[in-house]
Structure formats: structure tokens, C-alpha cells
Structure 1
Amino acid sequence: MDINEDKIKEEVSSFVSSLQRLLPKKKEIIVVEPQRAKLTKLCDVHAEAKNAFPKCFVGAKLIVLREILDKVKLVQQYSFGKSRESYKCFTQLIHKEMEPKNTDEGLLIDAAGSASATYKEVLDGAYEMRLTSRIRDLVSSETEIVFEKENDKSLGSISCSVRDVDPNTLRMVTQWMYKILPEFCFGTEIGFKPLAYPPTPDFSISARYERPTFILSSTASKIGFQVCLYKQFSPDLRLGTIITEGCRGGQTTFSLALHKNYQNGSELKIFVDSQRCGGFTFQKDVLFYEPHNEVRVLRIIGSTLIDRQRRVRFGVGFNLDF
């Protein structure tokens, strides 16, 4: 039997390669860069405490969200009875407070015939430009352009909006937030109408102290003074407290809310205030599994509201996201 040296080398090389395939692959070296602490926008200075409060409504409502194209969405909303919020749990002192800030770029069409288009672009110098145009009907519209810039310790924005193509409704708002300490930040807001006479600017001052388990924030303006406290007892239990005093009427309102999340995906929000009002909302997500690994979500919301006349009213809602 002839022994071929080349053949022996080939067999040995194949055997070594087979052993190498059984060995674990070498892990890639991952360099973790230090994350920069994200600054809080001025319009979100009370977000945690106010999000703990329920949005109570009366009647029945159905909201269907459909994604037609990549950046085109259709919203269908049907209301039966008084489905609007019939009672405000707190007062809003800041421009665009408690409104969705992370608006997706694209077109949003409502079943009522209104449309909202948003366009975003990052400019030189770390500026972000956001243009939003809303058309409600043939004679009602609103256009807003926002320039925003974020630095290591400050975040500022300038917005300009006009309604119904009327120059007299032109309004400019500037917001500025500065982080003095890692736990403490300070902000101001100035809003005015350039074409109004006499020019009466709106001015407010806000402060926020943040810790891992609680947040204390306050805002003072010519409308009133507000202090908010947010406390997180556990990952699924939160507490929100709001104290508001109006400068005109001088009435002080104390509101307390409790937010509880359950493991089955349910959510409960309860509130009471010093005006002998209260209420709660309970929502639950129901998942429907379809072929091709598609999941449909149906959100069921139940609402109960007790107003100043001690009347108990109920509401039910359904949200479908397709």
C-alpha cells in the first residue's frame, strides 16, 4: 500500500478543520460608549406626575388606527354620547404640555376629514427642524415650525405658529432648559404675539429635581403656580401629586393619583382631588394571533367619573391598531 504524503496532509487538515467547527466562535469585542444623560424638555417637566392621572371620559368611543403606506396613517374615531374629557384633573401652564412630542414623520388622516403632515430635518449645528401642518376643514388650518437644539447641559427650542392663514394669530414661543446639577435643572418659557397690541408676553419659570425613585417639579406663571411630585414605589406602582394655585381666583387644588400595572398587561389609574371629584380608568390589551405570525391588538378601556355634583358617570372605549 502506497502512502501518499499529500493525501495524509489533506486528511489531517480536514480533520483539524472539522474540530475547529465544533469550537465556539470568537466573540466580537463590543465597545460600550458612555451614554449621555438625555435632557428633559421644558414641556415634559411634569410629565411623570401628570401621566399617572387617568383621562376619564363619559359615553362610548371607538378609535381605529390603520397604516396605509409607510408614512401614511388613517385614524377613525367614532363617539357615542359625551365621550370627551368632561373634567380636567390638572391645569396646564406650559405650551404644548402633555401632547405627544415624538411625532412620526409622515401624513396622518382623520376620518372626520382633517389631515396632519409632519416633516423633520437635521440642520447644520445640531439643529432639528420640525414642520407640522394641520388642515381641519376648508377654512380651518394650523401651521407650526419648530427649531430645536440640544447641547450637553441645555436644550432650547423656538416655535412659530399661525392659524387659518391669519397674520394676527402669529405666535412665537421660546423654551429653554438648563441642567445646573445632574439632579437639578431650570427652565424658562416666553410666548408672545408680535402683531398683537398691546404686546403682552407670557412668561413662566420651571424647576425640576430628579432622583431615581422620585421627581419634584414646579412651574410659576401669571396664570398660576403648580407643584408636582412623582414617586415610584415599585416598577409597577406609581404615585402622582399635583398642587395648583391660581393667581386670579386664588383657589388651591390638591390632586392625588395612583397608577398600577399588572402582569397580564392591564393598567389601572385612580385619582381624587380637593374639589370632591374622583374617578378611574382601567384598560386591558387583548391579543389576537393570526397566520403569518401577525398579532392584532384590541385595547379595552373602562372609565368612571365622579363630578362636583356627586354624579357617577361611566364610559367605555375600544382602540384598534391595524
Structure 2
Amino acid sequence: MDINEDMIKTEVSNFVSSLQRLLPKKKDIIVFEPIKTKLSRLSDIHTEAKNVFPKCFVGTKLVILRQIMDKVKLVQQYNYGKTKENYHSYKQYLNNEMETKLINDGLLLDSTGSATATYKENIEGAYQVRLTSKIKDLISSETEVEIEREGDKSINSFSFRMNDMDPKTLKTVTQCMYQVHPDFCVGTELGFKPLSYPVLPELSISARYSKPNFTLSSTISKVGFQVCLFKKFAKDLRIATIINEGHRARVTVGLALHKSYENGSELKMFVDTQRCGGFTFQKDVYFRESPNEIRVLRLVASTLIDGQRRVRLGFGFNLDF
């Protein structure tokens, strides 16, 4: 039998057809993709609820953020009167809570004379080493090194901090956040000063249950406990409740509301059982300097009512170059 090109093409075509009949049809193919959920760090366990509460201030302040180089920023802040946050409806029981964690490498300079340098390095993909050094003035400094590992269901971190390069101030903090269920996770924090005597460890246990529009979280430690409730009613309306009980202090309940408007304005207000309350209102004003460049000026107004029913006002400008 002669073997020609047509016979070879026919045999190959029949072989490929037989293999195709063994494969499932396109409509029968089911692809199971792994469910990816966003893991939260332990220090961010109460972020949604606490961001609803306003940061009230008294006096007048001007904040200017200027980008000097690729990795150098200058923060200029000018204050008149008492501009510090006079009152908080919540406490912070966790290390580095409500602070920016994922900051870029570089140098941040403050007009008050302080500087913050940050350096990050990834090791073998899962580990990240972050070094942060803060120099407040000529004799005051703060250095922190943190090693963080993010897994499929957990985020673990170990850090140590030292103030003014004094070994007696060395403090180590270990944090662990584990995802038990896609909607439920638990975390622990252990901190102590190894060079102090006696060594008194600080242990706290936290839990978090979250849905797209609802979050319930809590933290308990030897200095007290805290329960935070966050609820998103609409795209532009959020409400939060925080219950605090500290050591030798009565229970305090705070309620806050955050309302966003279509023109870019935001209103935050709160009241609590200590007969305190307040609100902040901010609005962004846009200035077009050229067809491709728009500058934003943020106006912030604040009002604070303390337990003695005194009303204190604040007003500020935020400008980012």
C-alpha cells in the first residue's frame, strides 16, 4: 500500500477527532476558582467604625503637603490656637492602630522639625521587612522595625520599637490575625519590654465579623474592652457605634454618622453618653490652573461640645501640591 500525503492527513484528522470526542463539551466545563477574600491586619480590625467618627479640633490650622522629589515630601502645618484633638469617643488598644501602614518608601519632612524615613523590602515573596525611623528633634527619635508575613488565611507580624536610642525603651509586639471563616477572623497581640523589670506582658484578643455593608468587631485586654459596630445604609450614608470600658472607668457609648454629598462635601458628627458631641464638615474647592492641571483646596470646619456644654470651633485648610 502506497503511503501518500493525503492518507497521512486523513489519519491525523481521524486521530484528532477521536481525541476531541473524549473531551467534555464547552458547556459542560466547570472551572472552580479559589475564593479570594481580603485579609485585614490586626491593627485595622476597627477601621470602618472608627473612620466614621470625626476628628474634631479647636482653632485654625493650615496644612500644606508638597512633593519635592520622587521620594521626598514636605508637610507644612501652621496652627493658631488649640488645634490638637481635644476629645476622642474611642480608645486605641492595639499597636499602630489607625496609623497608615502601607506607606511608600521615602522621606517625609515636617515644618516643625521632625522627619520620617521609611524603607521596605520583600523577602521570598511572603515576607516584608519595613523600617521606619522618626526624628522629632535633635534629641528625640523613634525607630521601628517590622517583619510581616501574609499567608492564605493569616497575617503575622513581629516588630520592635526603640525611643531615643535607649535600650530600656525597647518594646516588642507580636500580632497575628487568622481567618477562621470568610466572614469571621480572630487575632491576638502580645507586647512586652524585654529589658525592663519586672517583665509584664500585654495581651489582647480581638474578633471581627464582616459583611459588605456590616462589620462587628471587638477587643479585650487587661486595660478594658471595646466593641465596634459599623453599618452602611446607602452609598453615601454610614453609621457606627463604639462601646468602651476602660480600667476603673464607666462604660461609654458613642454614636457617629458620616454623610457624603454629590458635590464632594462630607459631614461627620458624633454624640456619646458623656454628654459630648461634635461634627466636622469638609468641602473640596477645585481651581483649574491649566487645561491639564487642577489644584484642590480642602476646607474643613469643626465644632466640639465638651461635657461642660462649652462650644469650641475650628477651621482649617488642606492643600496638596
TM-based fold match above 0.5:
yes
Separation of aligned partners in 2, 1:73 and 1:231: 36
The 5 A counterparts of 1:26-175 are 36-124=36-124, 126-175=126-175
Task: Supply the AA of the counterpart residue of 1:207.
Answer: A
Separation of aligned partners in 2, 1:199 and 1:266: 49
Establish whether residue 287 from structure 1 lines up as the match of residue 286 from structure 2: yes
User: Secondary structure at 1:94's aligned position in 2?
Assistant: coil
Task: Supply the AA of the counterpart residue of 1:287.
Answer: Y
Establish whether residue 181 from structure 1 lines up as the match of residue 174 from structure 2: no
Partner of 2:28: none
Establish whether residue 274 from structure 1 lines up as the match of residue 255 from structure 2: no
Task: Supply the AA of the counterpart residue of 1:305.
Answer: L
Deviation >2 Å, runs of 4+ = 33-36
- TM superposition shift of 1:125: 5.1
Gaps of 5+ in 1: 1-32
1:210-229 CA distance string (max 9 Å, x none): 11211000000011011000
- TM superposition shift of 1:182: 0.6
Separation of aligned partners in 2, 1:114 and 1:270: 32
1:236-256 CA distance string (max 9 Å, x none): 10001000112x214100000
Task: Supply the AA of the counterpart residue of 1:48.
Answer: E
The TM-score, its normalising length taken from structure 1, stands at 0.88
Separation of aligned partners in 1, 2:275 and 2:139: 41
Partner of 1:197: 197
Task: State which drifts further: 88-97 or 57-66.
Answer: 88-97
Separation of aligned partners in 2, 1:213 and 1:114: 39
Partner of 2:295: 296
User: Secondary structure at 2:49's aligned position in 1?
Assistant: helix
Task: Supply the AA of the counterpart residue of 1:108.
Answer: L
Separation of aligned partners in 1, 2:266 and 2:138: 40
1:97-136 CA distance string (max 9 Å, x none): 1111221210000111111100011012510010011111
User: Secondary structure at 2:239's aligned position in 1?
Assistant: strand
Task: State which drifts further: 116-125 or 196-205.
Answer: 116-125
Separation of aligned partners in 1, 2:216 and 2:77: 36
Partner of 2:242: 242
Q: Across the two proteins, how many residue pairs are aligned to each other?
A: 289
- TM superposition shift of 1:295: 1.1
Separation of aligned partners in 2, 1:292 and 1:213: 39
RMSD: 1.1
The percent identity for this pair of structures is: 63
- TM superposition shift of 1:34: 6.2
1:196-215 CA distance string (max 9 Å, x none): 00000110000000112110
Establish whether residue 307 from structure 1 lines up as the match of residue 296 from structure 2: no
Gaps of 5+ in 2: 1-32
- TM superposition shift of 1:36: 2.5
